[in-house]
Amino acid sequence: MSDSGAAQGLILRGGASAGLGLVFRLGARLVFMFMAARLFGAAAFGAYSLAVATVELAVAISGLGMKRYLFKLLEDRGERPPGHVLLDSILLVGLASLVLSTGIALAAVAIPRGVLAEQTAAGMLWAAPMVGGQALIDLLGAATRWKHRMRYEVVSRSLVEPYVGTAGAIVAYLAGFDSTGLLLGYAAGTLGALAYTAVGTRLCFGSLGLPSYRPRAARLLGTLRESAMPTATDSAAALFYRIDLYLVGAFLGEAPAGIYAMARQFRTPIRQTRQAFDSLLTPIVAKTLSADGPKTTANAIASATRMILAIQLALVLALIAIGQTVLGWFGPEFVGGYVATVLLGAAETIQGAFSITDLLLLYLRARLALLVTLVMSIVNVAAALPLIAFYGIGGAAMSVLIAFVAGAMLRRALLRTRFGVATPLLHSGGPLLAGAAAAVVALVGHRYVPALAPLPIQLALLGAVLAVYGGAILAWQRATGESLQLVGFRVA
């Protein structure tokens, strides 16, 4: 088998393993969303979502970019045991998490209630201690992936965290915690996942060489300096991914934020499609870049973009066809988020497929990856302010779509002008044209099939849309000789 074929097999096996976990996680998320909507309502779900979004931003900062940068530290460790490198990272991440969780708690207490709603402030206080737990789950999950042990991160994030969290929220509600039950569930899921990931790390690394470990300030400060750019990039990305929710909460209130947060949940399977590939795609891109240079790596990434795009578009088509019906299952107030759901799904598809080239920017010139994220954030805010005022949560979703399109165009321009790298403009044209044809069928069906139509009719519509999409993909492949295979990657 060629090295490219071996790389494809490894990426697909890693993606299948992560994807299976994401299916389980999606099941738990659906149960959680239904429970949160039916038991707690839009306002409580909005306050919960705003509090957790604040914690997740803090996690991105306190994680110090270790989800990706830890691989480089472990590869360049010299004679040091891997366990000592990991202990350095745990110490740094733990200290950063302590500082940020304290800051969140102080902000929740100090910000006037005219600026920060009471329920959201209480949620921030309850969620703040989980910053450290979430950051360490990311770190330890990355460490076990370095050992090519996917199951610990998959099980912790896809089974333990969501299912324990959902069960915890239900128990808290039954016990009378109707305002804080969602956050108690969040804490239960975080602690359960952290415990499982810690056990997995112990099995992968042994004792970590703890008896002989001695932290050194100079080494820790050096690691902190080296991780500054990955930290800034991850932090900017985390802010960008949540700024639309913050703006909705600030301008429209907790209940609209809850509806918008529900719409955001439906883009999660689309994002997780990309994340399923990321587990092994990220280190393999680094190997390919080292062996063959940026131009060959860019062509390999383009093949991954096309495959991921083809999968994600099928999910967007499902949202167009039956998204309004599914939203109605969570309560009539959430149906108003249908347009936002479809727009966010389309935005996530563009970002998930075309942002893979961020890996090239990160490895070649990390400041450019940060620049892309900052530009998208500025575009998002600039577009969101008038669009939210005129169109509410639909306007917020539109601003995200505009920002992602701007980011995709900027990445392409930077790679072409700075590194002479440019994939054919229509490389992903086949899946896009097939998706456009199927989207027309989905929109017509959405218009003429009532949201309250019987489930078999809804499923028939979905099947027809996906059949058109699949048929168009096959027709494109036969007409052009192109394929959706991964090509050009190296594992050795």
- Which DSSP letter does residue 395 get? H
Q: pLDDT (tens digit, 9 = 90+) per residue, 285-297?
A: 666 766 666 677 7
The verdict on 51 and 112 lying in the same domain is yes
User: For position 383, what pLDDT does the model report?
Assistant: 94
- Residue 273 pLDDT more than 80? no
* Cα torsion through 432, 17, 281, 470, rounded to 10: -10
Mean of pLDDT values over 195-208: 88
Mean of pLDDT values over 229-254: 85
pLDDT band at 492 (very low <50, low <70, confident <90, very high): low
Q: pLDDT (tens digit, 9 = 90+) per residue, 117-137?
A: 788 888 888 889 999 999 999
Which region among 62-76, 119-133, 259-273, 304-318 has the lowest average model confidence (pLDDT)?
Answer: 62-76
The separation between CA 366 and the C-alpha centre of its own chain, rounded to angstroms, equals 20
The domain boundary, picked from 180, 200, 226, lies at 226
**CA dist., res. 160 & res. 154, Å (int):** 9
The domain boundary, picked from 226, 254, 288, lies at 226
Task: Residue 456: count other Cβ atoms within 10 Å of its Cβ.
Answer: 8
Q: Considering the domain boundaries, does residue 446 fall inside one?
A: yes
User: Apex CA 356: angle with CA 290 and CA 366, to 5°?
Assistant: 60
The verdict on 250 and 205 lying in the same domain is no
The verdict on 249 and 212 lying in the same domain is no
The verdict on 126 and 205 lying in the same domain is yes
CA proximity to 202, closest of 243, 263, 152, 159: 152
User: For position 84, what pLDDT does the model report?
Assistant: 86
pTM value is 0.78
Please give the tally of structural domains in the chain.
2
The verdict on 113 and 151 lying in the same domain is yes
Q: Considering the domain boundaries, does residue 1 fall inside one?
A: no
With tokens 């989980």, the residue in question is 130
Mean of pLDDT values over 300-329: 85
Which is higher by pLDDT, 90 or 485?
90
Mean of pLDDT values over 347-371: 78
- Residue 93 pLDDT more than 80? yes
Q: Which domain holds residue 91?
A: 34-226
The verdict on 59 and 86 lying in the same domain is yes
The domain boundary, picked from 226, 249, 276, lies at 226
Given a contact cutoff of 8 angstroms between Cβ atoms, the answer to whether 123 and 50 are in contact is yes
User: For position 68, what pLDDT does the model report?
Assistant: 74
The verdict on 221 and 237 lying in the same domain is no
Q: Considering the domain boundaries, does residue 8 fall inside one?
A: no
User: For position 289, what pLDDT does the model report?
Assistant: 67
Which region among 145-154, 174-183, 358-367, 403-412 has the lowest average model confidence (pLDDT)?
Answer: 358-367
Q: List CB contacts of 14: < 8 A, sequence separation 6 or more.
A: 150, 277, 279, 280, 281
Q: How buried is 34 (Cβ within 10 angstroms: 0-12 exposed, 13-18 middle, 19+ buried)?
A: middle
**CA dist., res. 368 & res. 294, Å (int):** 15
User: For position 85, what pLDDT does the model report?
Assistant: 83
**CA dist., res. 203 & res. 290, Å (int):** 31
Which is higher by pLDDT, 18 or 77?
77
The verdict on 153 and 200 lying in the same domain is yes
Q: Considering the domain boundaries, does residue 17 fall inside one?
A: no
The verdict on 191 and 329 lying in the same domain is no
When the pLDDT of each residue in the chain is averaged and rounded to a whole number, the result is 83
Q: Considering the domain boundaries, does residue 13 fall inside one?
A: no
pLDDT band at 5 (very low <50, low <70, confident <90, very high): low
Q: Considering the domain boundaries, does residue 11 fall inside one?
A: no
The verdict on 336 and 195 lying in the same domain is no
The verdict on 349 and 438 lying in the same domain is yes
The verdict on 60 and 195 lying in the same domain is yes
- Which DSSP letter does residue 40 get? I
Q: Considering the domain boundaries, does residue 344 fall inside one?
A: yes
pLDDT band at 400 (very low <50, low <70, confident <90, very high): very high
User: For position 281, what pLDDT does the model report?
Assistant: 67
Q: List CB contacts of 398: < 8 A, sequence separation 6 or more.
A: 343, 383, 387, 391
